[in-house]
Every structure is written in structure tokens, then in C-alpha cells.
Copies of this chain bind each other. A is one copy, B any other.
Amino acid sequence: MNLIPEDKKIFIKDLKDHVGEQVQLECWMYNKRESGKISFLQLRDGSGFTQGVLEEKNVDAKVWKTSQDVTIESSVLVSGEVSKHPKKDEYEIQISDLEIIQLAEEYPIGKKDHGPEFLFENRDLYLRSKTPWAVLRIRNQVFLSITNFFYEEGFLRGDTPILQPTSCEDTTELFSVDYYGEPMYLSQSGQLYSEAAIMSFGKVYDFGPVFRAEKSKTRNHLSEFWMMDAEMAFYDQDMNEDLQERLVKRILKDALENCKLELEILERDTTVMEQCVAKPFKRMKHFEAKKELEEDGFSVDYNDDMTTEEEIALGNKYGIPVFIEDYPFEVKSFYMKSYEDDKGVKRARCADLIAPEEAREIIGGSQREDDYDVLLKELKERDYPVSDYEWYLNIRKYGSVPHAGFGIGMERMTRWISGVHHIRETIPFPRTTVLNRP
């Protein structure tokens, strides 16, 4: 076949600019149905979906025959005139010519409802369905929003290493690699490296894959996922939360504006998202949150993390994201800045951001301990190998500054916006505890 030259290619997303024109489209047969002497071909080209209409009386016998023979997922070259739906913002092609590029064998994903296992065993094909198409385009928009936001805020994107000689936090959930005879671990977070990098660049973020060898099969777990970690020099926890709120609002706003078709395909009710863009986020102390939950009938543990049910309840109650601040230090990481509250409880200057609509924790962040002696003492108390953290301690030895940071999970954020149930829908080729192919 002859390909359409680059400068002559027209994409389905742009059909609105070609009403009344003859166009040629390179695309795939998404589906087809017939009604007597009329064929309706559902077409897709990666940029969008459209309908091609073909009437037997208006086309050559050969073209009509082709429309009868063409199978689902065949690649085709379609010629015809673009017309607009009289009432809706929809465009279709009155097909005058149809050429099969490659006739697809019988396509394994049919109209009948397949179980998720079948779909994910055939993820390479399932990607072509409308739901994955919409979800992964939303993921792409989240990536763009994050990239643009940090560019505008003056951050440097600094990639942190995947192969790390030590673990960031605990070592139980690490994948290990034989690195020329020495063990290395797949990154769980680039945070510690980014803390070193802000001493040169001021504000940095990384955005890459992280790994967790967690033998958990819930809808919330992936063994490989993408995480954005931001670190800011001369920053405290209040500034940190302000920045996070601006970022989350930006992501939501961009998705609402730029992913209308995708949200429509997913039948996403966007009322709450719109509310989250418009209203200030709620901020409350861990202690207050627990107290409120207790008043609402929960049997809470004031010294522990928030449970799944508690996060969902808070999200539902407020309908906007809620920063839960100042967790008990003992349930949080060694690097967080701490203080003693008026009841003598040691607390971390941190916040988890809980999103509504059961999206739960989408961000975790804190101010970092910037005092050398305090940090060293904490490493020793937790029995961490101090020599592995020598370079990390350097950050507090040579020009230490108050600094803070946070991490946002790409898949959690994408799931919230998409409204899909299982996290595996939000990444092109998910890795779960079951060995997935491809």
C-alpha cells in the first residue's frame, strides 16, 4: 500500500475541521454493523473514533464487497466525505472507497463480556478497547500536567537511580539484582537522592518507575509503578502543602479541560472533581481527624496510621482532598522533621493527602529533618546502617537548609480521575504478583 504522506495525513480528532471535504483516513475497524443495504463501520486511528457509513447503491460493487468482507481490527484505508451530525458534535464519513491494508484474523476480544483475567492476559490487544484508550490518555495528561507545572515553578527534573545500594525505608519489600557480583535493589523512591540534588538545584523532582515486592493481590497494588517525588530547599511543611494543592488542582483542571472525550467514554461524573478545583482543600491534624472519626462512630487508634476505611470516610465526608497533618512520628519515616506536641507525643511535620471518591491517599509528604545530630540519633535508634547513610547525612553537614518534599503516585492519581476500579487499568503493561505477559 502507499502510505499517506505526513503533511497530508488527517486524523479523526480533526474531522471537525474538514466538514464537506473529501478525506482519506488510515485506521482500524473497531466494529461494524449492518442495516439492510447500509454498512456502519466504527473506525479508530489512535486519535479518536468515528463512524463510516456506506450505502450499497452509492458505491462500486467492489467497495461494497470489501465492506462485507472486512473483519474487526483489520487495518483499512478509508476515503469519503466528512459530515456533521445535525444535532450533536459528532462527525462521520460517507465512505466512497475502502481498501483493506491487512485483513485481521478472527479477533479474540469480542463483544461478549470477558473477565479481567482474560483481558489482562491479552493486554496487548485489550489496549485497543475504549476503556484502556481513555484511561491511558488521561494518564498521559497527568504526566503532562505534572511536567508543565514543575517547569513553570522553576524545578529541575533530575532522574534518580533505579539501582540503589541501600533501601530508602524498610528492606522487606525490595527486589534485588545481582550487580556485577554485589547486591543492588530496585528503587522504592528517589527521595533521598533528590534531597542531595536540591543542594545544587534548589528545587528538583524525579518521575520514574519504582518497585515494591509486595505479595498483595488487592486492587491497590502493583509491583512496578510510576512515582513523582519533589523536593524543595528553603521550604517548610506549610509551603509544601500549598504547592501540593496547586499541583493537584492543576492536574484536575487540565484533565477536565483536555480529556472531555475520555471522561465521557468512562462515564465519569465530574461533579466532585470540579468541586476540588474550585474549593480550598481541607487541612486537619491527625489527632483531630481521629477524633472526628471517633465521633462519627469509628473505633479509632490515635497512635496509628489512618485505616483504609477511615480514609474513605474522610474523603466522603468532605468531598474535597483533606491534608491529614502531623502523624505520630513512630508510624512515619526516619527522615521526617519531628516535634513534641503539648501532650508529649512526638509527631512528624508531615501530611498525607486523602482524596474523595474512595481515591484515598494520593500524596505523602513532609518537612525533612535538617539537623545532623537529630537525624544521626534517629538512624541509630532505628538500627539503620549509619555508614550507608553517610552521604545522606552530608546534606545536613554542608549548608543544611529547611527543606520539604512529597511524592505523588501516577497510577493512584490516574485512577481517581478515570474512576476505574483496579489500579492495573492505569498503566499500559501492569506488573502484579501474578507474572503477567506480555
Binding site for B on A (CB under 8 A): 1, 3-6, 9, 11, 26, 28-29, 45-47, 73-75, 101-102, 104-105, 107, 122, 124-125, 127-128, 132-133, 136-137, 140, 143-144, 147, 151, 154, 156-163, 165, 175-180, 182, 184, 186, 192-193, 196-203, 208-209, 211, 213, 215, 223-224, 226, 233-236, 239, 242-243, 370, 391-392, 394-402, 427-429, 431, 433, 435, 437-438
The 8 Å CB contact of A3, one of B3, B101, B200, B239, is B239
Q: Could you tell me the distance between the alpha carbons of A132 and B162 in the complex, rounded to whole angstroms?
A: 20
Cβ A201 vs Cβ B399 within 8 A: no
Q: Which residues of B contact A137 (CB under 8 A)?
A: 156, 201
- In the assembled complex, the CB of A164 is this many whole angstroms from the nearest CB of chain B, namely 8
Q: Which residues of B contact A201 (CB under 8 A)?
A: 46, 127, 133, 136-137
Q: Which residues of B contact A223 (CB under 8 A)?
A: 163, 179
Q: Which residues of B contact A435 (CB under 8 A)?
A: 165, 179-180, 182, 184
- In the assembled complex, the CB of A429 is this many whole angstroms from the nearest CB of chain B, namely 5
Given A6-B239, A147-B147, 18 other A-B contacts at CB below 8 A? A5-B239, A9-B234, A28-B199, A102-B400, A124-B394, A125-B398, A127-B200, A133-B201, A159-B427, A161-B429, A161-B431, A162-B162, A162-B211, A177-B186, A179-B435, A180-B435, A184-B435, A192-B438
Q: Could you tell me the distance between the alpha carbons of A161 and B223 in the complex, rounded to whole angstroms?
A: 11
- In the assembled complex, the CB of A129 is this many whole angstroms from the nearest CB of chain B, namely 8
- Given A46-B203, A177-B175, A180-B433, are A401 and B101 neighbors across the interface (CB < 8 Å)? yes
- In the assembled complex, the CB of A123 is this many whole angstroms from the nearest CB of chain B, namely 8
For residue A11, which residue of chain B has the nearest CB? B154
| Interface CB pairs A-B, < 8 A, 13 | A3-B234, A3-B402, A124-B394, A127-B197, A144-B157, A162-B186, A162-B211, A175-B178, A180-B433, A208-B208, A208-B209, A391-B437, A392-B438
